Amino acid sequence: MVDPAKSIAVEWLKRDEGLRLFPYQCTAGKVTIGYGRNLEDNGISEFEAEQMLVSDVRVATQDARKFVGEDVWAELDEWRQACLINMAFNLGLPTLKKFEKFRQALEDKDWEQASVEMLDSRWADQVGARATRLAKVIAEGRL
């Protein structure tokens, strides 16, 4: 059964707080998002973080597919697809698109060269072990 007081309060809070999908400073100077969620004092729950991750992975998967194209995507095994999703999540599609030699190596199924192209990047320098692990999976097709 729905608590009527909570339902009324939710509607009022939506109206009074307004929805902001990007962080902003509230009148008290706190970093806030959504319907007045004070991130500095309240943060988010593990459940909320998981929900956000699921949503972000959905977007990263779409971006990874766009990066290589549907034909190449369909021929990649689940491990290599997972690597591309990880990279798309981390880099975003605009930056991932700059990995032109990497994309070409994937299209050519030249896994060793794809791995080399991953590691020959500023991204690899920035993320270290993550890049090494993902490049190994691209090269070998497994963890």
Domain assignments of the chain as residue spans, ordered by start: 4-42, 46-140
46-140: CATH architecture: Orthogonal Bundle (1.10)
Identity of residue 6: K
Q: Percent of the chain beyond pLDDT 90?
A: 97
- How many angstroms separate the Cα of 84 from the Cα of each of 4, 32, 44, 73, 116? 46, 32, 27, 10, 15
- Mean pLDDT across 66-82: 98
Q: Can you state the angle between helices 78-91 and 46-68, rounded to 10 degrees? A: 110
- Mean pLDDT across 65-71: 98
Per the prediction, the chain carries an average pLDDT of 96
For the sheet with 31-34, list strands across it.
20-25, 31-34, 37-38
- C-alpha atoms less than 13 angstroms from C-alpha of 102 in its C-beta half-sphere: 25
Measured CA to CA, the distance from residue 23 to residue 105 in angstroms comes to: 39
1 pLDDT exceeds 80?
Answer: no
Please give the model's pTM, rounded to 2 decimal places.
0.89
